[in-house]
Amino acid sequence: MLRYTIHRILLMIPTLLGVAVLVFVLLRLMPGDIVELRFLAEGGQVSPEVIAAERTRLGLDKPMWRQFGDWMTGIFVGDFGISMWTGRPVVDEIASRLELSMQVALMATVFAIVLAIPLGTLSALYKDSWIDQVIRLFAIAGLAVPSFWLGMVIILVLLLNFNWIPPLTYTPIYEDPWTNLSQLIWPAIAVGYRYSAVATRMMRSTILDVLQEDYIRTARAKGVFERLVVARHAMRNAMLPVVTVIGLEFAFLIGGLVVTEQVFNLNGIGKLFVETVTRADYTMVQALVMLVATFFILVNFVVDLLYAALDPRIRYR
Amino acid sequence: MSTATTAITYKVPKRRHPVIQFTMTQPLGAAGLVVIVIMAIAGFFAHIVAPHDPLDLDFGAMLAPPSWEHWMGTDAFGRDVFSRIIYGARTALAVGFLASLAGSGLGAVIGVASAYFGGRIDMLIQRFMDILLAFPIIVLALAVVAVLGKWPVGGLDVNLIIAIAIPMVPKVARVVRSSALAIREMPYIDAARAAGYGHMRIIFRHITPNVVAPFLIMFTAFIAQAILLEASLSFLGLGVTEPTAAWGLMLSGASQEFYVQAPWMIIFPGLAISLAVFAFNLFGDSLRDWLDPKIKL
């Protein structure tokens, strides 16, 4: 187990390095760097000397390999550089927005799990009944509805019924938890619907599988109450694939956040990402991609470890 | 002398046409297929089906509610929403189909090659796929769109299709690889190798036909995802651009400002996206149950 863990951690390094190279090269292949974009946006005639000076200031005149080397050595000492657009440290720019996105992501995950476990179980227990049909329809619709559109519809309904509009600024949870939750529950639902749909489908199919197992028949045969059979034997064993799917769908969650933050006017990392890509703010985009990739890899790693923890039959070597 | 002829009837199970068989065992999937076919026909013959020109500006009827003239109302430029949705079907289905074909095709080739060659090549390919997987889908697509710019061919942006296809490659490669790994161990592959066939012949004649089922299933499933991704990118202003009619695009821009006064501007395009994706998912799910229920995506 320890060996497996170390092996997996070591494998993360080449993957992350690959992500770093890829994002670095992709950004530099994009037509127009930040200096051009910025001065063109101002519209004025800017002398080549000024442009060259700005490039030197941002370190864009150095050869590619030097720029990459500087970035990598910076990361090793915990220095992610400064945003080329705002001039503030990348870490500060991201930190101020990460909290909001993390909270929405977390709420969406909780929403998904809370919905998926009972719905998936019910659907499996009453297979082919009308309950099952309704839940399956709800789940398959969840895969089809775009999160940003769902967000717009939610805003529309709230506005027409309660005169609620998305606030311009969000209240942090430690200032006023109630206001904060009432503001963020809607984007969380918009993003979480798809998530819950995927988890519900997974829950249903694994419960159906598990109910065929010998130990379920044994439990029933020795007279365990059906409720306990379901709760203790079936649901517990069905949790594993659901956990996996939640880990795997994390990438979708981020994608959902990128678009949904635009709709709800949330100043999170999704919105930041779209802004920085269009501005060709290299340092910011690099840092954001590395952040998300690291998180994704870690989530999948933790899911694999959880597998072993939840199911004693699984042993990694 | 009379010969008593006794008619002997054999009960031969009727071999039905696969389409009929599919419809009978998978009614929901068949319903999905019907929706897809209707959308495809409407999109293909958009110039005949649509009651208005999707680009026709009518400043006398801006943000008009649904009426007999404009079934789904008009947008901020007085363009007919219904006609734009029909033309949008053309965009969505073409982009979705081509992107999924490219993405799952390339993914399948990589997956089969990776499994067949094994060893170091397999390791290298898998590491590269891990890198692509670690990129969030929309982030990868955004980056590719930004890097490649536009390359319009026949009214479609080829680079957008590439951007949507790339994130699919690692996922398809993974599933196809695991199917192909099992096939590689089959005796008939050893036999083919012993007979002295080349790599290409073994890969294309012996392995590929056996991974067709998972490939077809992923292909339909990814059309649905491609339509969603195209809608998201167009919504962000990085996919299909004005004045082309596309569902995601109809939800952005002026719609963002006016959708409270004119909800039909967003309700119908969103329903169109959902219905298309819903139909493909329904069909894809049924196809999986029908072809190979063991495959999990």
Closest to B230 in 3D by CA, of B119, B135, B149, B137: B137
Dihedral angle sign, alpha carbons of residues B29, B34, B40, B42: negative
CB-based burial of residue A63 (10 Å sphere; 0-12 exposed, 13-18 middle, 19+ buried)?
A: exposed
| Bridge partners, B80 (sequence order) | B74
Q: Looking at the complex, does the CB of residue A12 fall below 8 Å from at least one CB of chain B?
A: no
Nearest chain A alpha carbon to B231: A146
Q: How far apart are CA B230 and CA B250, in angstroms?
A: 12
How many angstroms separate the CA atoms of B93 and B96, rounded? 5
Distance in angstroms (rounded) separating the CA atoms of residues B271 and B239: 19
Judged by a CB distance cut-off of 8 A, whether residue A191 touches chain B is no
Chain B positions touching A289 (Cβ under 8 A) are: 135, 139
Question: Higher model confidence: residue B18 or residue B6?
Answer: B18
Q: Report the 10 Å Cβ neighbour count for A204.
A: 24
Domain count, chain A: 1
pLDDT above 80 for B112:
yes
Closest approach of A182 to chain B, Cα-based (Å): 21
Nearest-CB residue to A30 (from B139, B147, B266): B147
Contacts of A95 (CB under 8 A, 6+ apart): none
For the segment A55-66, the average pLDDT, to the nearest whole number, is: 76
Predicted pLDDT at A266: 84
Determine, yes or no, domain membership for A67.
no
For residue A127, is it within any domain? yes
Question: Is A74 domain-assigned?
Answer: no
The dihedral over CA atoms of A41, A45, A47, A51, expressed in degrees to the nearest 10, equals 0
Where residue A78 falls (left for φ over 0; alpha for ψ -120 to 50; beta otherwise) is left
Which residues span the domain enclosing A231? Answer: 97-316
Alpha-carbon span B90 to B70, nearest angstrom:
20
Half-sphere exposure of B271 (CA within 13 A, CB side): 11
A145, B231: Cβ pair inside 8 Å? no
B234: which residues sit within 8 A by CB, 6+ positions away?
B240, B241, B246, B247, B248, B249, B252
Residue B236 touches chain A, beta carbons under 8 Å: yes
Tell me which of A17-26, B7-16, B155-164, B180-189 is least confident: B7-16
| B130/A contact by beta carbon, under 8 A | yes
> Does residue A150 belong to any structural domain of this protein?
yes
Q: Average pLDDT over chain A, rounded to whole? A: 81
Position B273 confidence tier, pLDDT thresholds 50, 70, 90 = very high
**Looking at domain B75-296, does it have CATH number 1.10.540.10?**
no
> Nearest-CA residue of chain A relative to B272?
A145
pLDDT of the residue at A44? 62
Residue A252: list chain B partners with CB under 8 A: 137
A22 touches B at CB < 8 Å: yes
* Token reading at B132: 């692509």
CA B74 to chain centre: 29
- Give B-chain residues touching A273 at CB under 8 angstroms: 139, 142
> Looking at the whole model, is its pTM more than 0.90?
no
Closest-CA distance, B175 to chain A, in angstroms, reads 14
In a domain, A293, yes or no: yes
Q: Is B287 on the interface with A (CB under 8 A)?
A: no
Residue from A149, A244, A284 to probe the interface with B (highest B Cβ count within 10 Å): A149
3-state secondary structure of A82: strand
DSSP per position, B43-75: HHTHHHH-SS-TT---GGGTTPPS-SSSTT-B-
Cα–Cα distances in angstroms (integers) from residue A141 to residues A93, A95, A116, A195, B290, in the given order: 37, 35, 14, 12, 21
Residue with tokens 């092996």: A7
Interacting residues of B179 by C-beta distance below 8 A, sequence separation 6+: B111, B210, B211, B214
From chain B, pick out residues whose CB is under 8 angstroms from the CB of A254: 136, 138-139
**Which of the four pLDDT bands, split at 50, 70 and 90, describes residue A272?**
confident
Per-residue pLDDT tens over the stretch A138-180: 888 888 899 889 988 988 888 888 877 777 677 777 777 787 7
pLDDT in tens, B73-108: 777 776 778 888 888 888 899 999 999 999 999 998
Helix residue spans in A77-176 (DSSP H):
90-125, 130-144, 147-162
CATH number at residue A166: 1.10.3720.10
Highest mean pLDDT among A232-236, A258-262, B245-249, B272-276: B272-276
Of B131, B133, B232, the CB nearest to A259: B232
Average pLDDT, integer, range A87-106? 84
User: For position B1, what pLDDT does the model report?
Assistant: 47
Cβ burial B44-77 (10 Å sphere, 16+ → b, else e): eebeeebebebeeebeebbbbeeeeebbbbbbbb
**Phi, psi (5° rounding) for residue A79?**
-110, 110
CB contact under 8 A, B266 and A152: yes
Q: Is A134 on the interface with B (CB under 8 A)?
A: no
Question: How big is the CA angle at A286 (ends A285 and A289), to the nearest 5 degrees?
Answer: 80
Dist CA A157 CA A162 (whole Å): 8
Query: Is residue A45 in a domain?
Result: no
Contacts of A284 in chain B (CB under 8 A): none
Residues 6+ apart with CB under 8 A from A132: A122, A123, A124, A126
Nearest CA in chain B to A269: B139
Contacts B231 to A, Cβ<8 Å = 146
Listed by start position, the domains of chain B span 75-296
pLDDT greater at residue B136 or residue A19: A19
pLDDT value at residue B293: 57
Query: Does B121 lie at the interface with A, CB-CB under 8 angstroms?
Result: no
